[in-house]
Amino acid sequence: MSDRSALIQSDYADGILSIRTNRPDKKNALTSDMYAQLADLFDHRATQEDVHAVIFSGAKDFSAGNDLEDFLARPPSTGSGEKAPVWEFMRALSNCPVPVIAAVDGFAVGIGTTLLLHCDFVYSTPNTVFMMPFINLAAVPEFGSSMLLPMRCGYVKAAEMLLLGDRFDSTTALQYNLINQICSSDNLMPCAMTTAAKLAGKSRDALVQSKALMRRDLEPLAERISIESEEFAKRVASPEAKAAISAILNP
């Protein structure tokens, strides 16, 4: 059980790791220290064999993005040998081997929206406000969103979000393929937990390999088929697959 006063909380039960931001007075704006804690959880806890799925959530607000005072005091840099905590978090989340489920309510601003492109399932409420305001700060897109967003929803829709930097709601997010489903506020976490429980009942190795295949860079179709065939042959020869097939044949 995690410290309930901590800015980043985590709990584990039945194959599911739950990670929550806990800074409600600042609408869960993220500081360097919070990024470091998140990176550590995704690097060292989410990768353990007992974890089949991760639920990532906030409280009333998912995240209002970077804490601007902290950001100005400790701006991320690529020039030093040590990478900034925000970069470490981005790397750790994007490399998470098991499915990540985001439960989003309230403000999802800046990285609070762009990190969703690295999650596998996203549920939000009608109250959610999405925004990628980088252009309004004379900045540029982050976290691979300049590539992932056009791939996800098409160039012209990505241009609306990244070049105008306006707010948009859950209905728009659903139309643009940024989320899976709109849930009531009361049903948000149960909805995320239902999906997590389904994933927890699957073979972890099969989940990890399936996610890795889906997230590979584009390659010729014949090459992808060959790679899938190799992994498929390994999996069907595993004790888990043999037991699952036997259960179907001998109910």
- The rounded distance, in Å, linking the Cα atoms of 216 and 24 is 36
Average per-residue pLDDT for the chain: 93
Helix and strand numbers (H, E) in the chain are 11, 8
The larger pLDDT score, comparing residue 9 to residue 2, is at 9
Statement: residue 1 has pLDDT above 60 = no
Q: How far apart are CA 222 and CA 8, in angstroms?
A: 44
- Give pLDDT, residue 104: 98
Residues 93, 95: Cα–Cα separation, whole Å: 5
Give the range among 8-12, 80-84, 134-138 with minimum mean pLDDT: 80-84
| Residue 40 pLDDT class (50, 70, 90 cuts) | very high
**Helix, strand, or coil here: 129?**
strand
Average the pLDDT over each of 64-73, 110-119, 121-130, 221-230 and give the range with the smallest value. Answer: 64-73
Mean pLDDT, range 217-242, rounded to an integer: 92
Single-letter residue type at 110:
G
Q: Is the pLDDT assigned to residue 90 strictly greater than 90?
A: yes
Give which of 117, 122, 106, 173 is closest to 141, Cα–Cα: 117
DSSP collapsed to 3 states, 68-85: HHHHHHCCCCCCCCCCCH
- pLDDT-derived band at 80 (thresholds 50, 70, 90) equals low
Nearest Cα to Cα of residue 38 among 77, 71, 99, 84:
84
pLDDT of residue 83: 81
- Confidence category of residue 4, pLDDT binned at 50, 70, 90: low
Give the predicted TM-score (pTM) of the model: 0.93
Mean pLDDT confidence for 206-227: 94
CA distance 182 to 1: 29
What percentage of residues in the chain have a pLDDT greater than 70? 96
DSSP state of 238: S
